Structure 1
Amino acid sequence: MVVLSLAVTPTSQEKFVAATAADPTLNMVADLVRKGWPEHKKNWHPAAKPFWLHRSDLSECGGLLLKGEQIVVSVALQPESIFPHGKMLYTSQPCFPVAIPDYAFHKVATDLYEIPGVRYLLVVDYSSKWPCAAQLRGISSASVVEELNRIFVDFGFPEQLVSDNGKQFDSSEFRRFCSRHDIRLTTSSPEYPKSNGLAERTVQTVKESFIKSKGEGKTLLHVLQVLRSTPVGNGLPTPAVLLQKRNLHGGLLFTKRALTFKEVDE
């Protein structure tokens, strides 16, 4: 049995619902969920026996078969679910120990990126991996400072800001901004620019997701909503849970239990 995080877009949800409806085994198991399980495993159809150990965790919601808060994936979609779109492999890079921030938005990574003709600023919280992105009015330090002020008004000004060596971050105006708000500015070294890896990885994810979503009529806000509601990985929950201790309603499929307040281990 292959399961997938329940944080999926409406388009993906429709695909999983259709595949579930066309899967005889999942239909059989969903029927057992609705009507009740046989008392003994030997009375089950052979195709349903792999679900025996998980029967107490199975439920049905919106045309999907769920195990806890995860989707049970139809065989037809398992290859792409085992290797989901958006998961990327990176060539090995030197590793540097990174201290865990004391609180959310204590330390942030920033970067600038361009999607044909339009410049964007990206900010990522090191603690929760919560991404923020904003379209820039220009490529000056003043434009970057303006958008950072908008972001930090909502989340608090960080104690440390990591950036690349772009001229916008290396100007006297930007250094005055950091000094005014007691922000320690750290830039990646020219010899190893990848030391701003968190921002660069997130930029790559945002750019690829945004380009793909634009073809589906989606906006940058929709991309950010999906990323904030997608599990970070390595056993960690979504950025929304790490930052706000709750998943976000709207746009993605969550059970009511998944939307309730959640304690997160330190």
Structure 2
Amino acid sequence: MLSTRGTGRQTMRIARWSAQLLQFDYTVEYKAGRENYVADALSRLPLGDEEWSDVVDEEEYVLNQVRVDSPVTVKELQDATNNDEVLVQVRKYIEEGWSGNHKSFPPEIKPYLILRDELSIVDDIVMRGNRIVIPMSLQAKFVDFAHSAHQGIVRTKQRLRETYWFPHIDKIVEETIKRCVTCQENDKSHRTHSAPMQSVEFPNSPWEKISIDITGPFENAPHDQRYAIVVVDYHSKWPEVAFCSNVTSRSVIQVLKTLFTREGIPTHLVSDNGPQFVSHEFEEFLEEYGITHVRSSLYYPRANGEVERFNRVLKSSIQNAMIEGKRSFKETTLDLLLAYRSTPHQVTGLSPSELLHGRKMRTKLDVKGRMPVKTQRKKNEVKQRVKKTKTKKV
């Protein structure tokens, strides 16, 4: 009877019984069923009024229990309930029944319709279980009272919901505390916001500015494929992926040298602050090749978003390959690179192969015997499209 069975509230009948028992100091003793004889009718007769004069009415006792911290009097609560159009309708439904099509109920009544089995009327006040339903005119006053100690959103909700209820109680509490000047000054309702993003200037030429990053380790991959060194061209969005067993500065330099023999030497290289990219050996390599090193902000991977975005695509493809269990990591990556390089990029409107090599790549989707045509789009058109797209995203 004293337990809520995990619901946090009791039905009105059980709440009245519990309130009645709380007036007494008693102990519970177990009595076997064979000794628990059925009481006779005379022992069940109620005592006279004179013998119960010091016992408070059970309904009144419940109200007294929930009014301990109330910021209003019972009379004010009763008057506000009688003047509340919604609660007047709710009281009518409680007394006469919730008959009819549920879809026909007004929107303001539906929150009460869902809880109709928990609602009751005590002393002209609408109750939900053992909690008082607050009229709309007093809701702000009760929320302010519950938040008088500026305890924050969670504790204010807990304090208020323990004794009172009204529709959208959580939302109203949150909005009230967000507007609280004291809480704002003490950072009670603080929310972290990301710094405004600034679009990176679009390079004039392919392979002028590249971005590099390391992803992994891939636990289920072969030893020589545990890590992937990823390079992306800022202009064409052309990706390069090289698998390796370790990610030292020497292995990164070897991958970059291979790329440079094929595509040429860029003027700028963007990386994070990983130990491979800040070592003396790596800095000497960049200085030898005349490359300007640009590092992203600490603990802010989005500053190197060009390669981080492709990393997400790569990891997703590898994860799918692991689920299928049919293809190796390298085969999956090669299929991804072929598709990615030949697909028009959302930002530029052209495929990476068109912007880097000036031609479309022939894939399995092309008609047999028909070679892809050379790209005719001018650089200015691409630059305008990139600017428009990035401005829209920002």
Deviations 1:208-247 (A, max 9, x none): 1233245352432121111101110146111111112222
**Equivalent residue letter for 1:246:** R
Residue of structure 2 in register with 1:142 after alignment = 250
What are the ranges of 5 or more consecutive residues in structure 1 without an aligned counterpart?
Answer: 1-90
**Equivalent residue letter for 1:220:** T
Residue of structure 2 in register with 1:29 after alignment = none
For this pair of structures, how many residues does the alignment match? Answer: 175
Residue of structure 1 in register with 2:264 after alignment = 156
Q: Tell whether the 8 Å contact from 1:109 to 1:196 is kept in structure 2 after alignment.
A: yes
Alpha-carbon offset, residue 112 of structure 1: 0.1
Cα distance in 2 for partners of 1:108, 1:234 equals 16
Q: Tell whether the 8 Å contact from 1:110 to 1:163 is kept in structure 2 after alignment.
A: yes
Q: Does 1:264 align with 2:377?
A: yes
Residue of structure 1 in register with 2:207 after alignment = 105
Q: Tell whether the 8 Å contact from 1:210 to 1:223 is kept in structure 2 after alignment.
A: no
Q: Does 1:201 align with 2:309?
A: yes
Residue of structure 2 in register with 1:241 after alignment = 354
- TM-score of the pair, normalised by structure 2: 0.42
**Equivalent residue letter for 1:193:** P
Residue of structure 2 in register with 1:76 after alignment = none
Residue of structure 2 in register with 1:179 after alignment = 287
Q: Tell whether the 8 Å contact from 1:128 to 1:242 is kept in structure 2 after alignment.
A: yes
Q: Does 1:131 align with 2:131?
A: no
> Counterparts of 1:77-88 in structure 2 under 5 Å?
none
Deviations 1:105-156 (A, max 9, x none): 1000110001325101000000000000001242210011001111121111
**Which entry has the higher C-alpha Rg, 1 or 2?**
2
**Equivalent residue letter for 2:365:** L
Distance 1:152-1:211 versus aligned 2 partners, 3 A rule: farther
Deviations 1:13-50 (A, max 9, x none): xxxxxxxxxxxxxxxxxxxxxxxxxxxxxxxxxxxxxx
Distance 1:235-1:157 versus aligned 2 partners, 3 A rule: closer
Residue among 339, 345, 348 paired with 1:232: 345
Q: Does 1:253 align with 2:365?
A: yes
Residue among 158, 165, 173 paired with 2:273: 165
Cα distance in 2 for partners of 1:220, 1:175 equals 29
Cα distance in 1 for partners of 2:299, 2:314 equals 25
What are the ranges of 5 or more consecutive residues in structure 2 without an aligned counterpart?
Answer: 1-192, 380-394
Q: Tell whether the 8 Å contact from 1:136 to 1:147 is kept in structure 2 after alignment.
A: no
Residue among 296, 299, 302 paired with 1:188: 296
- TM-score of the pair, normalised by structure 1: 0.61
Q: Tell whether the 8 Å contact from 1:231 to 1:239 is kept in structure 2 after alignment.
A: yes
Q: Which structure is higher in RCO with an 8 Å CA cutoff and minimum separation 6? A: 1
3-state SS, counterpart of residue 261 of structure 1: coil
Cα distance in 2 for partners of 1:188, 1:196 equals 6
Cα distance in 2 for partners of 1:237, 1:100 equals 14
Cα distance in 1 for partners of 2:288, 2:348 equals 38
Deviations 1:47-100 (A, max 9, x none): xxxxxxxxxxxxxxxxxxxxxxxxxxxxxxxxxxxxxxxxxxxx9763113112
3-state SS, counterpart of residue 219 of structure 1: helix
**Equivalent residue letter for 2:306:** L
